[in-house]
Amino acid sequence: MLQIMNRWLLPEYIADVLPAEARKVETLRRAILDLYQSYGYELVAPPILEFLDSLLTGTGSDLNLQTFKLVDQLSGRTLGLRADMTPQVARIDAHLLNRKGVTRLCYAGSVAHARTPVGSSAREELQLGAEIYGCATWEADFEAVSLLLETLRVAGLNKVYLDLSHAGVLEGILDGQVKDKGEVEALYSLLQSKDRPRLAIWSQCLPTKSAQALMALTELNGPCAQVLADARKSLPKHPLIDEALAQLENLAAATNAFKVNVELSIDLADLRGYQYHSGVMFAAYVDQLPQPIARGGRYDHVGQAFGRSRPATGFSMDLLTLANLAPLAQRKPAIVAPWTLEAGLASKIAELRVAGEVVIQALGGDDVETAEYLCDRELVRQDSAWVVKKK
């Protein structure tokens, strides 16, 4: 006997967002975008589908593996369902806006992953982010970090752990000695896992100083001042390394002076997204989540891949995860009104709604059942007028 699959079942790791939760997400989205507007960020909304070669321009192989692919029936070309909005926003800055000065852009939209990301339980996210284009100095990185911390504060997450790193450190250590893309991917995987035995084997082909520096990276993590001091002692003298450590020092000092409850650390082996980033990298953690709640950093080369070299830095996060961690909002009070054509009822309901009240009319006399609203009052006829009374 054939087993009939329920037609309403969703694909694996894809879920509906139900009432109350959806309202919480939308309320938070509006509050955060209003925050970004107060900083001067302009909202953009890229399409969810693009030609694949455009969608993956300037990105690493990880994003290619995460991208759903399909054939466009109009052109016959391969389309991609976006897994990350950042390259799209970089394309908008490079080719559509084409401004010379600093541009601040923000966005909020759905992304889909062909594979469930590590540490996640969903293949669809509501990606929220902010990007700064046209400023190559560490001050832009600090603005991105401070805006990220303000975002988490708006969501009610007041204790944050911020982990800093810098792609320039590894670039300075290698100094062009490793060019094979596969080899670089293997290296950054070993550094990420801090697999010292295999890292020692991998680095045998490098000069002794470079090999020793790679091994040192696995232990250069902890409080900022201590890590920076140790890095200057154990890493080779190189302009890229010196500049990277100076930027991290400036960023740490400015962030510590920012009046928020944040615990700063540096991990110079944390190179997730190394091929994507080109400078400062940062990840924000909160107590309720084992993986980062947000990631960001500098990615200057993405604009170059679009034919217009443009400094860029920013961050992104999943708004659904953020809303799930945010403190529970109280149910909004509501008024229950009868469904009737009696004189004056419609105008009274309109008056209450204009005043900001939620008025729900009970269809067919049934009780109102809702998870989002607390029906604590009712609209009743008293003499010749409609009045609101507590239930």
Quickly tell me which residue has 């009046």 as its tokens. Answer: 259
Cα–Cα distance list, 200 to 187, 256, 360 (Å):
11, 36, 68
Which segments of the chain does DSSP mark as H helices, in order? Answer: 21-38, 52-55, 61-66, 86-91, 138-154, 167-174, 181-193, 196-202, 208-217, 224-234, 239-257, 300-305, 319-325, 345-354
Report the SS3 class of residue 69.
Answer: strand
Q: Is the dihedral of CA 61, 62, 64, 65 positive or negative?
A: positive
pLDDT value, residue 275? 63
> In this prediction, what percent of the chain has a pLDDT beyond 90?
59
The alpha carbon torsion through 295, 300, 302, 304 (nearest 10 deg) reads 180
Condensed to tens digits (0 to 9), the pLDDT of residues 314-328 reads: 999 999 999 999 887
**Where in 9-123 does DSSP place strands (E)?**
42-43, 49-51, 68-71, 78-81, 103-112
Binding residues, by number, are: 84-86, 127, 131, 272
pLDDT value, residue 206? 87
Report the SS3 class of residue 175.
Answer: coil
Amino acid at 88: Q
The alpha carbon torsion through 276, 280, 285, 289 (nearest 10 deg) reads 10
Condensed to tens digits (0 to 9), the pLDDT of residues 85-139 reads: 988 998 899 888 888 899 999 999 999 998 887 767 788 999 999 999 999 999 9
pLDDT value, residue 60? 64
- Find the mean pLDDT for residues 309-317: 91
Quickly tell me which residue has 């100095």 as its tokens. Answer: 137
pLDDT value, residue 127? 96
pLDDT value, residue 1? 40
Going by C-beta distance under 8 Å and a sequence separation of 6 or more, which residues neighbour residue 237?
none
pLDDT value, residue 132? 97
Cα angle, residue 347 at apex, residues 345 and 350 outer, rounded to 5°: 110
More reliable by pLDDT, 2 or 98: 98
- Find the mean pLDDT for residues 331-345: 89
pLDDT higher than threshold 80 for residue 79: yes
pLDDT higher than threshold 70 for residue 380: yes
pLDDT higher than threshold 60 for residue 259: yes
How many CB atoms neighbour CB 364 within 10 A?
5
Element of type H or E holding 91: helix 86-91
Condensed to tens digits (0 to 9), the pLDDT of residues 210-253 reads: 999 999 999 999 999 999 999 999 999 999 999 999 999 999 99
First to last CA, the chain: 54
> In this prediction, what percent of the chain has a pLDDT beyond 70?
95
pLDDT tier at 2, thresholds 50, 70, 90: very low
Going by C-beta distance under 8 Å and a sequence separation of 6 or more, which residues neighbour residue 207?
177
* Cα–Cα distance for residue pair 92/309, rounded to 1 Å: 13
* Cα–Cα distance for residue pair 91/63, rounded to 1 Å: 16
Mean per-residue pLDDT of the chain: 89
- Quote the tokens at residue 296: 């960001």
Name the pTM for this structure. Answer: 0.87
DSSP one-letter string for 177-231:
S---HHHHHHHHHHHHHT-HHHHHHHGGGS-HHHHHHHHHHTT-EESHHHHHHHH
Whole-angstrom Cα Rg for the chain? 26
Binding residues for L-histidine, by number, are: 84-86, 127, 131, 272
pLDDT higher than threshold 70 for residue 365: no
